[in-house]
């Protein structure tokens, strides 16, 4: 019996030894990596999780990734100063109205984290294309040019692997008709109406939302979204943009023509008038209606004491020209560089509804940008020249060198400018009625509004007589008020569980749209393996001679990362997978037919092999190649020692059977 027990013990020991040897071989294989690289990102959110996923995917290629998570201030220093990383993850947000992103993708850009420069293969071509791009004002030509640049960036330079653009979610009650989330509340209002009452609703002529306190209504000094939103309700943009950021002819500007390479002429809509210049600073909920304010109590403007009663001050080209000039004049603006590319801006000498814009075309005047943000800076909400301009003979100049008469130092301290900051008026859909700090702002429908919907340029009216903005700075409290029926619109992005419930509830309508932001994995193009000297070593593989070893490695890495799986596990599949160096929300310029690095392990090994690194024998093309498991781990995964476990179980079963027989 002792001999038999010894035999069985030997079987168990052998099986355990088999498992040990198997695991030892796995660790040796993991240590024999083709490269060891460093991934960095900042803590908070899911970016560290991105790093763990990426590390696991790249391990399939034989690339070992050390994931390092830094506090934000340290991470910023890493990005700007030390550059001690190979790959990382960061996000960009805001902006996006223009395809010009030279601050990110040009050599001298403040956000050039990648080491891009004209010395890199295709780097000089990219720099030149970006410089040319901002000089193209023809929309179709500009769009195609940026399409070509994006393809170059993602095929021949590859500074990033775009990851995701999050979605914003907003909700209305199902009885609210005509709201288009992508266009926003202001542009949707002419099309909106109620189809019956919702729970808690008491009026069919009021629309109520929540926001924070507004601070400043003069757009020249506004730095918060709450103030900008109210001004947008009261004014109209000179040029209307679609949600895709394409200019339209449905607003105050109804047409344009290009006179020559540097000269444009814009035509404005006729029969548009400024709303009454009411002074509402002393009004309360108990005040008489706005229409009861006598003409003698309307605010007088700086220019010859003029006022507006809604019918006597037409919106013309002088207001558009004035708006552009004040934005770029330091005596009244805090954002003068917005229009430093304009060399001349004036009213047409024959047609008071037309104005001209001349663009600086001299590349030897770097202080005056050529065309940068030409289209993106035209949609400013128009400002009343008769009220805010003066007859002072002082001559001042814009950043673009345009002579201005009427704007002078200390103008912003005049009673007119001071009052306009708290009692503004425009030519838009609504007029400011009264406000109570920390409580509510009330606006009333303007009977003088132009009556044209920006979405389709059709005649429209406003069904909501009163627009109410309640001050509820806490988003949870806002959601509770919405569910109680006391609000008609709310944001849901921060409440995914509540949002999913509402999406399944017929009482609500939940809409979503892509935000102007994007998270991406980026490469340090100056580091070995992912870049460095390999950027200059061209491949000799047939069909790939125009690519370098560095490009091939970056392509391999991009193809090896399963963004669809990351999106599903970390974001429930709800984020948009991005593919270009521009925000997907910039739909007019975003190139959707660009080369895409969808997960493809075969292509990853193909490019890695072309770069000269060892790759395994791949299964036939017809054999599906699956991705790695969904849950990433920080250490090298140990394959399951199936045969060793079977041997151990078999030995244990034999011992048990022998003892039972005894």
DSSP-assigned states of every residue in 571-617: HTT-SEEP-SSS-TT-TTT--TTS------HHHHHHHHHHTT---PP
Distance, first Cα to last Cα, the chain: 10
Is 97's pLDDT higher than 90? no
Per-residue pLDDT, averaged over 128-153, amounts to: 92
Domain ranges for the chain, please list them: 42-165+516-610, 167-212+429-514, 219-427
Specify which residues 467 forms β-bridges with: 207, 443
Q: Which residues of 459-497 are buried (b: 16+ CB within 10 A; e: fewer)?
A: ebebbbeebbbbbbeeeeebbebbbebbbbbbbbeebee
Per-residue model confidence (pLDDT) at position 136: 84
The answer on pLDDT for 534 being more than 70 is yes
Average pLDDT over residues 540-557: 97
DSSP-H helix ranges across 367-439? 385-388, 415-420
Contact predicate 341/369, CB 8 Å: yes
Structure confidence at residue 371 (pLDDT): 64
**To 10 degrees, the CA torsion angle through 186, 190, 192, 197?**
100
- Does the pLDDT at position 629 exceed 60? no
Per-residue pLDDT tens for 238-264?
999 999 888 999 999 999 999 988 899
User: In the prediction, which pLDDT does 635 show?
Assistant: 35
Is the pLDDT score of 207 beyond 80?
yes
Q: What is the pLDDT of residues 431-447, one digit of tens each?
A: 999 999 999 999 999 99
State percent of the chain over pLDDT 70.
86
What does the pLDDT read at residue 57?
Answer: 98
User: Which of 464, 489, 578, 589 minimizes the C-alpha distance to 191?
Assistant: 464
Please report the pLDDT score of residue 654 as a whole number. Answer: 43
Residue 4 phi/psi, 5-degree rounding, is -65, -40
* CA angle, residues 156, 161, 167, in degrees to nearest 5: 135
Pick the CATH number of 219-427 from 3.40.430.10, 3.30.465.10, 3.90.76.10, 2.10.70.10: 3.90.76.10
Q: How far apart are CA 9 and CA 3, in angstroms?
A: 10
Closest CA to 630 of 577, 567, 578: 567
Q: Which of 35-44, 76-85, 643-652 has the highest mean pLDDT?
A: 35-44
Domain boundaries 167-212+429-514, CATH class: alpha beta
**Cα(61)–Cα(126) distance, integer angstroms:** 30
Residues 6+ away with beta carbon under 8 Å from 606: 556, 615
Give the Cα separation of 478 and 492 in Å (integer): 10
């Amino acid at each position: 019996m002792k001999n038999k027990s010894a035999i069985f013990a030997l079987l168990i020991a052998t099986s355990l030894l088999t498992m040990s040897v198997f695991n030892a071989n796995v660790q040796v294989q993991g240590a024999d990596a083709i490269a060891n690289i460093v991934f960095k990102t900042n803590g908070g959110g899911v970016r560290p999780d991105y790093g763990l996923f990426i590390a696991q995917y790249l391990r399939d290629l034989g690339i070992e990734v050390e994931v390092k998570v830094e506090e934000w201030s340290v991470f910023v220093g890493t990005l700007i100063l030390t550059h001690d990383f190979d790959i990382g993850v960061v996000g960009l947000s805001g902006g996006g109205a223009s395809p010009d992103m030279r601050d990110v993708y040009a050599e001298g850009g403040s956000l050039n984290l990648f080491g891009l420069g004209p010395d890199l293969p295709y780097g000089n071509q990219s720099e030149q294309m970006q410089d040319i791009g901002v000089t193209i004002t023809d929309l179709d030509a500009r769009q195609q040019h940026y399409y070509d640049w994006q393809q170059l960036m993602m095929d021949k330079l590859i500074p990033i692997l775009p990851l995701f653009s999050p979605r914003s979610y907003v909700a209305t009650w199902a009885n609210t008709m005509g709201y288009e989330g992508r266009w926003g509340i202001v542009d949707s209002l002419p099309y909106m109406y109620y189809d019956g009452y919702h729970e808690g609703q008491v009026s069919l002529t009021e629309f109520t939302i929540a926001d924070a306190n507004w601070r400043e209504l003069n757009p020249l000094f506004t730095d918060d979204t709450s103030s900008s939103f109210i001004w947008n309700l009261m004014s109209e943009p000179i040029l209307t943009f679609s949600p895709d950021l394409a200019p339209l002819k449905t607003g105050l500007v109804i047409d344009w023509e290009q006179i020559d390479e540097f000269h444009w002429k814009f035509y404005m809509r006729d029969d548009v008038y400024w709303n009454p210049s009411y002074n509402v600073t002393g009004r309360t909920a108990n005040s008489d209606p706005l229409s009861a304010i006598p003409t003698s109590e309307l605010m007088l403007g700086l220019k010859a004491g003029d006022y507006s009663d809604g019918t006597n001050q037409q919106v013309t080209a002088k207001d558009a020209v004035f708006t552009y000039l004040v934005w770029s004049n330091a005596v009244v603006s805090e954002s003068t560089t917005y229009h430093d590319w304009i060399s001349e801006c004036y009213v047409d000498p024959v047609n008071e509804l037309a104005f001209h814009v001349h663009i600086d075309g001299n590349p030897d005047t770097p202080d005056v940008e050529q065309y940068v943000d030409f289209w993106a800076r035209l949609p400013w909400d128009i400002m009343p020249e008769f009220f805010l301009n003066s007859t002072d003979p002082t001559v001042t100049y814009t950043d673009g060198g345009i002579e201005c008469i009427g704007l002078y130092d200390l103008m912003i301290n005049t009673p007119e400018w001071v009052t306009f900051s708290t009692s503004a008026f425009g030519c838009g859909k609504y007029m400011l009625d009264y406000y109570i700090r920390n409580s509510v702002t009330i606006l009333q429908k303007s009977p003088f509004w132009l009556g044209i919907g920006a979405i389709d340029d059709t005649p429209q009216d406003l069904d909501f007589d009163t627009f109410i903005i309640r001050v509820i700075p806490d988003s949870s409290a806002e959601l509770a008020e919405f569910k109680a029926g006391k609000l008609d619109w709310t944001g849901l992005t921060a409440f995914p569980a509540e949002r999913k419930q509402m999406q399944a509830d017929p009482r609500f309508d939940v809409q979503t749209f892509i935000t102007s932001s994007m998270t991406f994995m980026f490469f340090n193009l100056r580091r070995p393996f992912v870049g460095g000297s390999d950027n200059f070593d061209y491949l000799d593989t047939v069909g790939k001679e125009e690519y370098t070893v560095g490009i091939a490695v970056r392509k391999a890495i991009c193809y090896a990362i399963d963004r669809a799986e990351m999106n599903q596990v970390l974001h429930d599949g709800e984020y948009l997978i991005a593919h270009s160096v521009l925000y997907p929300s910039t739909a007019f310029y975003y190139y959707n037919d660009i080369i895409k690095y969808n997960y493809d392990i075969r292509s990853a090994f193909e490019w890695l092999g072309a770069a000269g690194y060892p790759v395994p024998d791949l299964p036939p093309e017809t054999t599906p190649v699956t991705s790695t498991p969904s849950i990433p781990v920080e250490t090298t995964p140990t394959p399951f020692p199936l045969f060793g476990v079977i041997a151990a179980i078999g030995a244990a079963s034999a011992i048990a059977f022998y003892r039972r027989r005894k």
